[in-house]
Amino acid sequence: MHNTVTLPVRLPSCAFVSLVVEKAHHHEGHEGSRSRVHHDAWWGSSSQCSSILRELKERLADVETDLKKGAGPKDVLEDAATRLRSAIARSQEPCDRSGVWTDGTLKCTLLVSDALFASGVLNYAPPGVFASLESRTTLFHPEFYTYSESSDRLPLYVVVDGDNWSAAEYFAAILQDNRAATILGNVTGGAGCGYTNGGIPSTLKNSRAVVKMPDCVRLRKDGSNENVGIVPDVWIPWTVHDNSYTSAQRLFHSLLVVFTQKKEADHEAH
């Protein structure tokens, strides 16, 4: 698939102290929710920082190995090394959040943006183009697989609902953003990109309770955070009272409507 749109990943910064916020409403993003700030800051542990940095450094080492071998394309590898070094450096920048307690301002962030895509350093690469490189999956993760591209295929339909989370949402989002499939169903659960490496364990200073925080953010083509859920192109009117049979009936009916509309559109185009 050419001109692929992938999702930029924001990397959590390692040097931070943040706030523990308790939502009055438990639904993330609820406009009417209020937050209560507890005076129990959480600190990034050295293990979480080392885990993130270790992964970035391993990716960088693979790129540098290919450069030392004289492998190519050289310009792609050099750009990848530059971006990874920048991501490593920026993830270690200190973040003073003391202003939150005095004037309510926050002049830094835990997120490093514009560093990587969910697919790797690159947002697209032809199949097999980096097959001989140590850093092939660092450059473009799909290079881990053997596959071919073709625009000559049947239409693709993907069905989702509120029980789809995380990687399943990534799958639906990347197809939808590239117009490679029609998404049917209901809004997905809204986990987005969170625990790619088991999350970020953080220990509360006073209670010593361990809290796991998300370790990445995936942004979609329109800039929205994937954790708001994937809104389908075609809604299926499922209800909580549906059983397997009635759910399948509603899906079948929705597919018939889609097929009919597509057939009519194709007829008018010709």
Reduced 3-state DSSP string for the chain? CCCCCCCEEEEECCCCEEEEEEECCCCCCCCCCCEEEEEEEEEECHHHHHHHHHHHHHHHHHHHHHHHCCCCCHHHHHHHHHHHHHHHHHHCCCCCCCHHHHCCCCCCCCEEEEEEECCECCCCCCCCCCCCCCCHHHHCHHHHCCCCCCCCCCCCEEEECCCCCCHHHHHHHHHHHCCCCEEEECCCCCCCCCCCCCCEEEEECCCCCEEEECCCEEECCCCCEHHHCCCCCEECCCCCCCCHHHHHHHHHHHHHHHHHHHHHHHHHHC
Per-residue pLDDT of the chain (270 residues; tens, 9 = 90+): 444 555 667 677 664 333 333 222 333 333 333 333 333 333 334 445 667 788 889 999 999 999 999 998 999 999 999 999 999 998 888 888 788 888 888 888 777 888 888 889 998 999 999 999 999 999 999 999 998 888 778 889 999 999 999 889 999 999 999 899 999 999 999 988 877 766 777 788 889 998 877 778 888 988 899 989 999 999 999 999 999 999 999 999 999 999 998 888 888 887
- Of 181, 170, 184, 185, the closest CA to residue 221 belongs to 170
CA distances from 267 to 151, 179, 180, 263 (A): 21, 21, 21, 6
